[in-house]
């Protein structure tokens, strides 16, 4: 997959949850719509990153492997998530 | 009952989400009551799951090592922030005001630390109250009535700490008194049985959660606790850093004297980890064979280095041979020591 990234974050050698903490810090300084590329060699990030994106409302664009490194792509949400899944049902 | 939110906005709760069943249910219950929920998941450095991840074999199933807080946030559709508990948490662990449980678990202080953090987060990012998944009577140290009251009194947000799962056993909180939460719809769960929680999870279709009652904190682990207390006994508290805590989770530990302790890697993964661990001091490895890496704390003299070499030899592939050559390195200095492997009988006396 080919994705244009506006920023890149190298977390190779770090284990969860540090890559997610660093991703969160970096995304908080980005503009909505911008894409972050995260480099990691922790394969469990392929589960955690999509979960974090779903939780925070960011777009998870996918991942590709290059040698021993994973490249994951996150698009910062356009608008903050304000309504949780089941809130307001009653 | 309709929530009487402050005019113009919804009520927002900030909660501690471990990703276990109780915190997931507490969050879900508040969502059912029409309250917005933000979760905080603390990374303390003592999570067994995080360690398993660092030591994982290539064939280990990744789902077993996922972050449960993030998984819960995704399933519930609520934002979950991961917070690094940092050095402040370590300071608390080394000197907890309310002491330790059976092992090295400072559960009451840990709760207070996290609730203080949640309160601070609430002040910074907005929020109306803090909630936890605590259940009265579930855990011996931190969840009996007196402990829950102590936490309530000392958490800095008295009256604004809600435990949705056991609320009906506890005095009403301000959010209940103000009509933000309908007390009648909060729960009255207590005790160690998980039946009510499992019924609720079935009703709400929450199927994907870690095994209830599964311990996941090193501080509550018997072996870790022995090493932790040994370290406290032999090291000035101000010298203990997070790196030392990481090493307590790895390898076989032997206390050879007041000053000298060694760590012997148990397998390839621990060897890889220790070989990357940058730390001054002596390292030992048997030559030309499969061998553990052994790290030494302190300044071993010649006799002590021979003893450490013989312990390293005992765990090498040449342990059945009468003499084994071991390389000992400290910075630029290297020496070769030829020793017989130590006997298992002697080892027992030094094992922590």
For chain B, percent of residues with pLDDT exceeding 70: 97
Radius of gyration of chain A (CA): 14
- Pair (B141, B281) in one structural domain: no
Per the CB < 8 A criterion, the answer to whether B163 and B148 are in contact is yes
- Out of B218, B236, B265, pick the residue that ends a domain: B218
Give the distance from residue B71's alpha carbon to the nearest chain A alpha carbon, in angstroms. Answer: 6
B25-76 residue pLDDT tens = 999 999 999 999 999 999 999 999 888 888 887 788 888 889 999 999 999 9
Residue B69, burial from CB neighbour count under 10 angstroms (0-12, 13-18, 19+) = buried
Nearest CA in chain A to B71: A51
Name the pTM for this structure: 0.91
CB contact under 8 A, B53 and A20: no
B146-185 residue pLDDT tens = 999 899 899 999 999 999 999 999 999 999 999 999 999 9
- Pair (B41, B82) in one structural domain: yes
Interface probe with A: pick from B82, B203, B249, B273, most Cβ of A within 10 Å: B82
By C-alpha distance, which of B49, B54, B89 is closest to B67? B49
- CA B107 to chain CA centroid, Å, is 11
Q: In chain B, what residues touch A46 (CB-CB under 8 Å)?
A: 62
- Pair (B199, B289) in one structural domain: no
- Pair (B179, B324) in one structural domain: no
- Pair (B185, B285) in one structural domain: no
Does residue B231 lie in a domain region? Answer: no
Write b or e for each residue in B237-272: b if 16 or more Cβ atoms lie within 10 A of its Cβ, otherwise e: eeebeeebbebbbbbbbbbbeeebbbbbbeeebbbe
Q: Which residues pair with A59 in a beta bridge?
A: A75
When comparing pLDDT for B3 and B295, which is higher? Answer: B295
Q: In chain A, what residues touch B35 (CB-CB under 8 Å)?
A: 87
Does residue B230 lie in a domain region? Answer: no
- Pair (B29, B167) in one structural domain: yes
- Pair (B208, B271) in one structural domain: no
| Average pLDDT over all residues of chain A | 87
Is pLDDT at B126 greater than 50 in this prediction? yes
How many contacts does A have with B, using Cβ atoms within 8 A? 98
CB contact under 8 A, A57 and B79: yes
In eight-state DSSP terms, residue B298 is S
Q: In chain A, what residues touch B82 (CB-CB under 8 Å)?
A: 17, 20-21, 24
Give the distance from residue A66's alpha carbon to the nearest chain B alpha carbon, in angstroms. Answer: 17
Domains of chain B: total: 2
CB contact under 8 A, B41 and A54: no
B289-324 residue pLDDT tens = 999 999 999 999 999 999 999 999 999 999 999 999
The pair of three-digit structure tokens given for residue A14, joined into one six-digit string: 């770090």
The pair of three-digit structure tokens given for residue A34, joined into one six-digit string: 């911008």
Q: Is B161 helix (H, G, I), strand (E, B) or coil?
A: strand
CA distance A36 to B25: 33
Q: Are strands B294-297 and B283-286 parallel, antiparallel or unpaired?
A: antiparallel
Instruction: Give, in order, the Cα–Cα distances in Å from B242 to each of A5, A68, B31, B248.
Output: 34, 28, 37, 10
Radius of gyration of chain B (CA): 24
Does residue B153 lie in a domain region? Answer: yes
Annotated catalytic residues of A are 16
- Pair (B97, B164) in one structural domain: yes
Instruction: Find where tokens 């059912």 sit.
Output: B32
Q: Is A37 helix (H, G, I), strand (E, B) or coil?
A: strand
CB contact under 8 A, B36 and A83: yes
Of A24, A54, A90, Cβ closest to residue B34: A90
CA distance B121 to B39: 10
Of A17, A56, A83, Cβ closest to residue B43: A17
**Complex ipTM:** 0.87
Confidence of residue B212 (pLDDT cuts 50, 70, 90): low
Of B39, B54, B67, Cβ closest to residue A48: B67
Does residue B225 lie in a domain region? Answer: no
Does residue B165 lie in a domain region? Answer: yes
The pair of three-digit structure tokens given for residue B49, joined into one six-digit string: 């799951």
Does residue B339 lie in a domain region? Answer: yes
Q: In chain B, what residues touch A81 (CB-CB under 8 Å)?
A: 77, 79
Give the distance from residue A68's alpha carbon to the nearest chain B alpha carbon, in angstroms. Answer: 12
CB contact under 8 A, A48 and B73: no
- Pair (B23, B104) in one structural domain: yes
- Out of B218, B242, B272, pick the residue that ends a domain: B218
Q: Find the CATH number of the domain harbouring B110.
A: 3.40.50.620
- Pair (B124, B209) in one structural domain: yes
Determine the structural domain holding residue B293 and report its residue range.
250-350
Q: Which residues lie closer than 8 Å to A83 by C-beta, 6 or more apart?
A: B36
Per the CB < 8 A criterion, the answer to whether B50 and B18 are in contact is no
Give the distance from residue B169's alpha carbon to the nearest chain A alpha carbon, in angstroms. Answer: 24
- B82 phi-psi bin (left φ>0, alpha ψ -120 to 50, beta other): beta
Of A16, A24, A85, Cβ closest to residue B81: A24
User: Using CA of residue B191, residue B195, residue B197, residue B200, what is the dihedral sign?
Assistant: negative
Nearest CA in chain A to B32: A87
Give the distance from residue A29's alpha carbon to the nearest chain B alpha carbon, in angstroms. Answer: 15
The arithmetic mean of pLDDT across residues B238-262, rounded, is: 95
**Distance linking the first and last C-alpha atoms of chain A:** 43
- Pair (B200, B260) in one structural domain: no
- Pair (B205, B325) in one structural domain: no
B85-113 residue pLDDT tens = 999 999 999 999 999 999 999 999 999 99
- Out of B218, B238, B271, pick the residue that ends a domain: B218
Q: Is B157 helix (H, G, I), strand (E, B) or coil?
A: coil
The pair of three-digit structure tokens given for residue B14, joined into one six-digit string: 């900030």
Per the CB < 8 A criterion, the answer to whether B20 and B26 are in contact is no
Per the CB < 8 A criterion, the answer to whether B308 and B324 are in contact is no
Q: Are strands B36-43 and B12-16 parallel, antiparallel or unpaired?
A: parallel
Does residue B208 lie in a domain region? Answer: yes
Does residue B65 lie in a domain region? Answer: yes
Residue B7, Cβ neighbours under 10 Å: how many? Answer: 5
Q: Are strands A59-66 and A69-75 parallel, antiparallel or unpaired?
A: antiparallel
A 49-78 → B contacts, CB under 8 A: 50-52, 54-57
Q: Is A83 on the interface with B (CB under 8 A)?
A: yes
């Amino acid at each position: 997959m080919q994705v244009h990234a506006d920023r890149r974050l190298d977390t190779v050698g770090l284990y969860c949850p540090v890559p997610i903490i660093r991703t969160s810090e970096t995304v908080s300084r980005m503009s909505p719509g911008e894409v972050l590329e995260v480099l990691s060699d922790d394969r469990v990030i392929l589960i955690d990153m999509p979960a974090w994106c779903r939780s925070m409302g960011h777009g998870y664009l996918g991942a590709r492997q290059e040698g021993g490194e994973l490249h994951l792509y996150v698009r910062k949400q356009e608008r903050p998530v304000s309504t949780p899944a089941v809130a307001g049902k009653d | 009952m309709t929530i009487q939110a402050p005019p113009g906005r919804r009520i927002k709760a900030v909660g501690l989400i471990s990703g276990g069943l109780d915190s997931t249910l507490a969050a879900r219950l508040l969502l059912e009551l029409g309250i917005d929920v933000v979760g905080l998941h603390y990374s303390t450095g003592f999570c067994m799951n995080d360690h398993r991840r660092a030591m994982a074999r290539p064939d280990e199933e990744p789902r077993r090592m996922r972050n449960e807080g993030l998984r819960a946030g995704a399933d519930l559709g609520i934002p979950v922030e991961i917070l690094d508990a940092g050095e402040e948490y370590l300071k608390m662990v080394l000197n907890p005001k309310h002491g330790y449980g059976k092992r090295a678990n400072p559960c009451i202080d840990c709760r207070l630390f996290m609730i203080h953090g949640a309160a601070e987060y609430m002040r910074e990012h907005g929020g109306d109250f803090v909630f936890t998944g605590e259940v009265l009577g579930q855990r011996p140290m931190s969840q009996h009535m007196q402990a829950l009251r102590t936490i309530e009194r000392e958490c800095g947000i008295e009256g604004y700490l809600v435990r949705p799962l056991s609320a009906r056993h506890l005095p009403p909180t301000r959010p209940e008194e103000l009509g933000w939460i309908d007390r009648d719809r909060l729960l009255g769960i207590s005790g160690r049985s998980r039946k009510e929680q499992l019924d609720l999870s079935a009703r709400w279709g929450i199927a994907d959660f870690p095994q209830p009652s599964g311990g996941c904190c090193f501080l509550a682990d018997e072996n870790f606790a022995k090493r932790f207390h040994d370290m406290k006994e032999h090291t000035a508290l101000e010298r203990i850093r997070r790196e030392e805590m990481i090493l307590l989770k790895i390898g076989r530990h032997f206390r050879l004297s007041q000053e000298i302790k060694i760590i012997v890697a148990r397998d390839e993964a621990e060897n890889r980890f220790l070989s990357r661990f940058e730390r001054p001091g002596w390292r030992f490895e048997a030559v030309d064979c499969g061998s553990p890496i052994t790290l030494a704390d302190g300044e071993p003299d010649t006799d002590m280095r021979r003893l450490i070499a013989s312990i390293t030899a005992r765990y090498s592939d040449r342990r059945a041979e009468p003499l084994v050559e071991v390389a000992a390195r400290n910075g630029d200095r290297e020496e070769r020591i030829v020793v017989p492997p130590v006997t298992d009988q002697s080892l027992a006396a030094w094992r922590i």
